[in-house]
Structure 1
């Protein structure tokens, strides 16, 4: 089942169950995916493109959560936490820190990186492998650790 089919089925279910928050988030995700397809001039998005849209939606919410948390807006923080949990339902299984660390080590060996000057080379090689499966800041942290 494609992501779009899954979103449509979940949207129907959310309507039946009167789950306003879930319905709203699913509609936002679908709208973002449709906008991306229009922008790319494609009829349908590839899985990789869908994952890019989902990752962007999740990142936007996490960034907003951080800002609202700093501002002490608990009402919005709770709403965003709910939205994040819904978006995460559609993301691929996340890699553990150990798995990310192991992938970073392998990529450093593959690229022949020796120092922090090679960090860009390592990051550009590893990000396509873990797209949507781990947070970029976590990957960055491990790359810095292993290259120092």
Structure 2
């Protein structure tokens, strides 16, 4: 069993013992999503795919929070915020702007990317290194800016 998946399963047991309903509910959502993907694709997810799944769930929560805030539904936004905090505990340490720029420069040096035609190649190099650690939309904008200079 991958390390991260095992860690999440152990956290679920601890949340059950502590009777922490928010944490338990969110962990069950995480494990259900992981299980759904494993059943659909008939594979066992490695840590990289688990992080990608958590990143996707995190993004969904952020989108929901903004929608609920716009609709003045603070009660629902608060629930999403609590779930987001639990999900964040299993994501790797986020990268700061300098670390993202450094990873971008390394990827450019590795791939030799020099124009927008190389964006796919560059993103393929970057994605495994920064998935779950930075906003991929922001990274895409940085890559476009860098390649159009």
Shared topology, TM-score over 0.5? yes
Unaligned runs of 5+ in 1: none
CA contact (8 A) 1:11 1:26 kept: yes
Deviation of 1:118 (Å): 3.3
Q: Is the 8 A contact 2:5 2:47 kept in 1?
A: no
Give the stretch that moved more between structures: 87-96 or 111-120: 111-120
Q: Quick check: 1:33 aligned with 2:60? A: no
- Structure 2, unmatched stretches of 5+, are none
Quote how far apart the aligned CAs of 1:90 are.
0.6
4+ runs of 1 displaced by more than 6 Å? none
5 Å matches for 1:29-108?
A: 29-42=30-43, 44-108=44-108
For residue 122 of structure 2, what is the aligned residue in structure 1?
Answer: 122
CA contact (8 A) 1:105 1:146 kept: no
Q: TM-score, normalised by structure 2?
A: 0.87
The 3-state SS of whatever aligns with 2:38 is helix
Pairing 1:112–2:122 present? no
C-alpha RMSD of the superposition: 1.8
Deviation at 1:18, TM superposition (A): 1.9
1:11 aligns with 2:19: no
SS class of match (2:62) = helix
- Quick one: distance in 2 between partners of 1:80 and 1:62? 8
Asked if 2 retains the 8 angstrom alpha-carbon contact of 1:36 and 1:53, the reply is no
Tell me the CA shift for residue 117 of structure 1. Answer: 4.3
